[in-house]
């Protein structure tokens, strides 16, 4: 095994070895920095919400309680199957629990590891976009450095949210799709489908990429339509095989189909109400979500709706859809606000204040707003640069579409923008590398 690894290492080009060496350094620095945040902005242990849910459920999993509702167990000792979130982040945290590390700190470290892996993956993606030569190496390393320093990413890590792992799986999916585009082989098609499935098992909206990113990548670029269709089908089968165990488990536990999570239904009641539509509380929550609205409906109906977790989620989804149908005149404004929040172009500093709901520092979130705008501005010239180099921009369009469609369906917020962050950071690295070469060229001419 060691001989094979040494042979493969020796076969790498000098540029590749240099890239991997420096990428390792950047990743380790990113990991150390994120780890240090566990003593500052991420020091507080969650006392509710999704972070506590993931922490408790990870321990439930290794204790034989399965994917049960930890809050219901804490209230009355009853185990009830749930699928409010896909399972991968719970499984990721449970890797530490299996080894006996069940504390908040252990799970936060696992979250930090995922965030550092995301930095490395963004670097690898940047190099793939830039090519395997010196230019690609500079773009990849620049992308990794930007990702390591980018507040909207590192402010999530250590908070026990799944976005670090989601960012990693999304980035690897895009990298595999680009590798397929370069080689058009069945193996890379299967790899793309596998990683797409893993991304969807982290956050369900990743499945949108199948339509707006994977399919366009595999159906365009040349005229070998039969091969492309076969490869796309292979990617689809691979994705379905990854999702199948979770979907089968859900079909056995619930009375209604739940391919990924029940949250896709339940979120609709938070996102479609007078507050989220801007007609209550002076429009403060326009385009966002308002959790207490669900409590108001509970009070009206005398508690939780009947049925299992999937049936209850369907009830909440019907409540949200009914409200939307009854207020169609407000939808254009609401959808525009959702999209504006997703791109941090509408009420950006209010978004930063709302980040406190997720346990994030408002000061760091404000810095994240400025970092996002700077990265977005730098990303725009890269679109022209890549087009002139005949490099496809479809992956970046697909990532932007994924975030935008998800926001239009539910609501906009900083935490859900990470696929778009990946696109913007890689594109920003392309621009920075191009500017660096222009500056070096002019300096060489002057000398």
* pLDDT tens-digit readout, 119-146: 999 999 999 999 978 899 999 999 999 9
* pLDDT higher than threshold 90 for residue 154: yes
What pLDDT is recorded for position 133? 84
Mean pLDDT within 359-363: 91
Q: Quick one: pLDDT band at residue 283, thresholds 50, 70, 90?
A: very high
* Residue 373 confidence (pLDDT) above 90: yes
- Taking residues 275-301, report their average pLDDT: 95
Listed residue (430, 433, 354, 341) closest to 386, CA to CA: 430
Output phi, psi for 257, to 5 deg: -65, 135
Higher per-residue confidence, 336 vs 440: 336
State the Cα–Cα distance between residues 281 and 356, nearest whole angstrom: 19
Section 229-233 average pLDDT:
97
Q: Compute the radius of gyration of the chain from its Cα atoms.
A: 22
Whole-angstrom distance, CA of residue 162 vs CA of residue 271? 21
Integer Cα distance of 289 and 286 in angstroms: 8
When pLDDT is averaged across residues 307-330 and rounded to a whole number, the result is 97
Q: Is residue 3 over pLDDT 60? A: no
In angstroms, the CA 132 to CA 247 distance is 39
Are 125 and 143 in contact, with CB atoms under 8 Å apart?
A: yes
Confidence of residue 372 (pLDDT cuts 50, 70, 90): very high
| Mean per-residue pLDDT of the chain | 94
SS3 state of residue 133: coil
Q: Which residues contact 338 (CB under 8 A, 6 or more apart)?
A: 271, 287, 407, 408, 410, 411, 412
pLDDT at 260 over 50: yes
pLDDT computed for residue 5 by the predictor: 46
């Amino acid at each position: 095994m060691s001989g094979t690894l040494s042979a493969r290492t020796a076969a790498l080009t000098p540029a590749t070895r240099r890239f991997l060496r420096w990428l390792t350094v950047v990743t380790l620095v990113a990991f150390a920095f994120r780890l240090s945040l566990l003593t500052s902005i991420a020091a507080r242990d969650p006392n509710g919400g999704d972070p506590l849910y993931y922490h408790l459920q990870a321990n439930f999993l290794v204790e034989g309680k399965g994917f049960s509702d930890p809050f219901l167990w804490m209230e009355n000792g009853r185990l009830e199957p749930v699928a409010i979130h896909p399972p991968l982040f719970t499984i990721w945290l449970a890797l530490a629990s299996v080894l006996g590390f069940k504390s908040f700190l252990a799970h936060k470290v696992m979250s930090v590891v995922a965030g550092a892996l995301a930095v490395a993956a963004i670097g690898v993606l940047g190099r793939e976009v830039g090519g395997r030569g010196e230019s690609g190496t500079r773009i990849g390393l620049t992308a990794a450095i930007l990702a390591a320093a980018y507040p909207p990413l590192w402010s999530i890590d250590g908070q026990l949210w799944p976005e670090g792992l989601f960012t990693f799986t999304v980035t690897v999916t895009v990298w595999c799709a680009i590798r397929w585009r370069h080689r058009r082989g069945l193996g890379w098609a299967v790899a793309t489908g596998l990683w797409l499935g893993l991304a969807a098992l982290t956050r369900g909206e990743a499945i949108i990429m199948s339509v707006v990113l994977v399919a366009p990548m595999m159906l365009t670029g040349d005229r070998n339509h039969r091969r492309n269709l076969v490869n796309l089908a292979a990617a689809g089968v691979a994705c379905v095989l990854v999702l199948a165990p979770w979907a089968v488990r859900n079909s056995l536990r619930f009375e209604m189909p739940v391919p990924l999570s029940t949250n896709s239904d339940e979120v609709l009641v938070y996102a479609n109400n007078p507050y989220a539509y801007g007609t209550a509380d002076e429009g403060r929550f326009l385009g966002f979500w308002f959790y207490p609205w669900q409590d108001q409906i509970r009070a009206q109906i005398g508690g939780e709706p009947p049925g299992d977790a999937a049936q209850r989620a369907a009830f909440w989804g019907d409540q949200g859809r009914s409200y939307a149908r009854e207020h169609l005149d407000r939808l254009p404004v609401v959808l525009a606000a959702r999209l504006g929040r997703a791109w941090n172009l509408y009420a950006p500093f209010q978004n930063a204040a709302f980040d406190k709901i997720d346990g994030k520092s408002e000061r760091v979130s404000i810095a994240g707003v400025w970092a996002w705008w700077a990265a977005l501005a730098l990303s725009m010239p890269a679109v022209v640069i890549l087009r002139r180099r005949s490099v496809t921009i479809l992956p970046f369009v697909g990532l932007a579409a994924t975030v935008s469609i998800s926001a239009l369906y539910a609501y906009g917020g900083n935490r859900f923008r990470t696929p778009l962050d990946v696109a913007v950071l890689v594109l920003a690295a392309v621009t920075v590398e191009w500017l660096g070469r222009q500056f070096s060229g002019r300096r060489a001419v002057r000398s």
